[in-house]
């Protein structure tokens, strides 16, 4: 089974409770789930949150949305992923982070297809990055995840799930999927008020219920309205995007 596991929690520091911030009348987490549901390769979507009491509201929301939920360690996200995969009997995981309002199902399917075609342990599209930040996709086998969960002792690796793979390329067969044009200068994730304002502006122009807009439509919009890309251009990028 190929499943998306969305790591999500309400305890963000820079933008408190950002997964429930409103975009066009729906919370951010709703849009992420909705967008990845258009994938042709995913067979299941799971919300993996923490056992922290404050994440009860996320579990309740997910249950009301008829979504599968797993709760595990807040800091040891690697173990949370592994235990969720075991609980739901998953073979292949697509890792999804909960701060990316423009996740693209076609790009997800592209990376999953590359993972399957090349018979690798780990496929991704962000090392080096050529897609806009926020369209990152990481796909890996549960058997590889089990090795990482067993052998990784570094707190950084356990917090960031896939770092053990990146740091051990000889141990895990892996492949990077590149875009035809390097668009990694574009920031399409939410970690600040500027990011949220930019996302809301894009949604105000492109979002329609029961439909989905993809990367190329956003790019066309930014050509027409260059000010939108400038709205969050000054936000300091995560160090994770250049590791």
Residue 102 · residue 154 · CB < 8 Å = no
Band of pLDDT at residue 16, cut at 50, 70 and 90 = confident
- Cα 186 to chain center, whole Å? 16
Q: 2-188 sits in which CATH class?
A: alpha beta
Q: Could you state, in order of their start, the residue ranges of all structural domains in the chain?
A: 2-188
Instruction: Output the pTM of the full model.
Output: 0.94
Is the distance from CB of 157 to CB of 167 less than 8 angstroms?
Answer: yes
How many other C-beta atoms are found inside a 10 Å radius of the C-beta of residue 199?
A: 26
Quickly state the pLDDT bin for 186 (edges 50, 70, 90). very high
Lowest mean pLDDT among 107-111, 183-187, 236-240: 236-240
Q: What is the pLDDT of residue 238?
A: 66
Please give the average per-residue pLDDT across 111-138, as a whole number. 97
Q: Name the band, by pLDDT with cuts 50, 70 and 90, for residue 196.
A: very high
Instruction: List, in order, residues 6 or more apart from 226 with CB less than 8 Å away.
Output: none
Q: Give pLDDT, residue 14.
A: 77
Spatial neighbors of 25 by CB under 8 A, at least 6 apart, are none
What value does the mean pLDDT of the chain take? 95
pLDDT score recorded for residue 239? 62
Q: What's the start-to-end Cα distance of the chain, in Å?
A: 30
């Amino acid at each position: 089974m190929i499943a998306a596991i969305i790591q999500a929690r309400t305890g963000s520091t820079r933008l408190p409770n950002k997964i429930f911030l409103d975009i066009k009348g729906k919370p951010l987490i709703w849009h992420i789930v909705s967008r990845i549901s258009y994938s042709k390769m995913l067979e299941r979507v799971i919300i993996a949150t923490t056992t922290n009491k404050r994440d009860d509201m996320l579990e309740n929301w997910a249950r009301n949305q008829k979504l599968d939920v797993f709760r595990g360690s807040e800091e040891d996200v690697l173990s949370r992923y592994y235990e969720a995969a075991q609980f739901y009997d998953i073979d292949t995981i697509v890792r999804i982070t909960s701060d990316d309002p423009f996740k693209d199902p076609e790009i997800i399917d592209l990376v999953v297809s590359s993972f399957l075609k090349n018979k690798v342990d780990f496929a991704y599209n962000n090392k080096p990055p050529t897609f806009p930040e926020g369209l990152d996709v990481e796909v890996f086998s549960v058997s590889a995840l089990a090795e990482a969960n067993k052998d990784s002792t570094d707190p950084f690796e356990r917090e960031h799930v896939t770092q053990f793979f990146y740091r051990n390329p000889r141990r895990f067969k892996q492949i990077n999927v590149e875009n035809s044009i390097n668009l990694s200068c574009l920031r399409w994730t939410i970690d600040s008020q500027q990011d949220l304002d930019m996302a809301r502006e894009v949604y105000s122009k492109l979002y329609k219920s029961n439909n989905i807009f993809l990367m190329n439509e956003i790019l066309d919009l930014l050509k027409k309205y260059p000010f939108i890309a400038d709205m969050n251009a000054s936000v300091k990028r995560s160090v994770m995007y250049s590791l």
